[in-house]
Chain A
């Protein structure tokens, strides 16, 4: 039985977000979405 090799530091090991650049882009997009939702909440109920 062979052991599954551990992912190296260069790969993220995340499905769909295989490079660090994609992980950082995902974090920033999530952040922007949060800001937009919070601004919308502020505008809608002020």
Chain B
């Protein structure tokens, strides 16, 4: 990165943060701080919901996911339109009718205080960890490739977001997110166009698709019924629907984004905007990864994309072994490139026999390249747990994009990190004050007192998430890590609300213990069943059904006792 890149990065990030602080300088009531001023337009709500979900991980890690595994990850979003319609029809009108600030207030009104506290506590636990991940994920990648100190990157970006979120609250989050998502879209569209332009001149659109398809990168839909497959049509349609229902319907970081609309209509339209746009958006981001894959068939990539880890390993006495792997990779990649060019030429000459032979030879060469990349992964980490897919996109940006655009794309990642983290801190502060502090610690204080408490708790959670981020260490692909953490806790949150909305006869005590049992079952599944036998997305379904079934049984057992005590 040069001076121009740094100028673009700083102006964009600090400019938007300063705007958020200035724009909301006169908002001073407790309710507007947490819920917004109530005049938010549906388009802003839609962008805000989108920006909250799409953290830096989405833009940094998803192209790497597309590069490695193709378009299949898009199936994770199949549950979203259905889930958002259910939320717009059932969840949202109830939240608005009860005029709640947090979703967990509903649990208190429908069940009892302990169930409300359980919902809020599970939210705080998983979201605090999630907020740590939100800030850690881009920091680890960007600090490595840009040579910035990791801890300073985490603390610096954390402080920026704490300042404008604690100053302006929900309105500041909305106001900044709309510009941050603008920067994000500009960066991603620019990256897509530049990648497309940089493809070899002889490659037509049809050639590009054929090469990507032959190498299994265009398998967008998989109808396998194997529960160990992480992303299939069925996990997308069933398990991901539960996951999205929990995330959008019960996670305060999302609920807070849409309940602040000026009317039910604005909130609903904001959700429907996401229901329509999310699948094409994710498809587009994954397609960047696929384009990157095709580009790297003609240009030799590094054998291991996390070059910092690669050089560290070389410095630990493995220089010769790694050099051998690099040499083998260079030869294998050159062979693959030559076979590919022969294949493309045969296609253009419409020679089916030559095309078929060249295609087979390309597939063999490609398998050889892939096996050397696996060897490289094992050389860096003998357990094979070290992934380099998160470094694919950022490495390409830094090595091939012009200055100015590099600054814009790094700004894109930071804008995404800040927008998601701001919403999380805003929600963590709200839930702490509304669900814990106000009903349990200071019941009859003034609005001004609660406003100050909200700001202090926002700062507190910002510091907690920075501390989490400073202690984290991950081997998983980042985008998957975020979703796995969510799936461990979402089943319990969702089941509390599902029972509340749809099963009238179940009371607080039954659902409380049912939810705790479901949490134990989900954690037991996570620690005992290997991920390749049961996709983490199914935890959402299992946990939800365990809670509902257990609540029914407990309610039946509790009813005689309740009847006796009444009599």
Contacts and interface: CB of A to CB of B under 8 A. Distances in A.
Nearest to B222: A42
Contacts of A6: 263
Interface of A: 6-9, 11-14, 20, 23-24, 26-28, 30-31, 34-35, 38-39, 41-42, 44-46
B218 A46 contact: yes
B276 interface: yes
Given A6-B263, A9-B265, A27-B85, A41 B275 contact: no
Interface residue tally on B, bucketed by range: 20 to 34
Nearest to B236: A35
B316 to A, nearest CB: 42
B43 to A, nearest CB: 12
Given A13-B265, A27-B84, 8 more contacts: A8-B265, A9-B265, A23-B268, A34-B279, A38-B71, A39-B220, A41-B71, A41-B220
B263 A9 contact: yes
A8 B266 CA distance: 10
Main secondary structure of the interface of B (DSSP, over half): helix
B220 A12 contact: no
Interface of B: 71, 74, 78, 81-82, 84-85, 88-89, 209-210, 212-214, 216, 218-222, 263-265, 268-269, 272, 275-276, 279-280, 283
A35 B218 CA distance: 14
A27 B78 contact: no
A13 B42 CA distance: 11
B344 to A, nearest CB: 15
Contacts of B275: 27, 31
A38 B268 contact: no
B505 to A, nearest CB: 29
Nearest to B274: A27
A46 B216 contact: yes
Contacts of B268: 12, 20, 23
A7 B218 CA distance: 44
Contacts of B85: 24, 27-28
Contacts of A11: 265
A26 B71 CA distance: 25
B219 A35 contact: no
Contact of B220 (A9, A14, A30, A42): A42
Nearest to A6: B263
A39 B209 contact: no
Given A11-B265, A28-B85, A39 B212 contact: no
B218 A42 contact: yes
Nearest to A44: B213
A21 to B, nearest CB: 10
Contacts of A8: 265
B265 A12 contact: yes
Contacts of B265: 7-9, 11-13
The 3 A-B residue pairs whose C-beta atoms are closest, nearest first, are A45-B213, A38-B220, A9-B264
Nearest to A27: B275
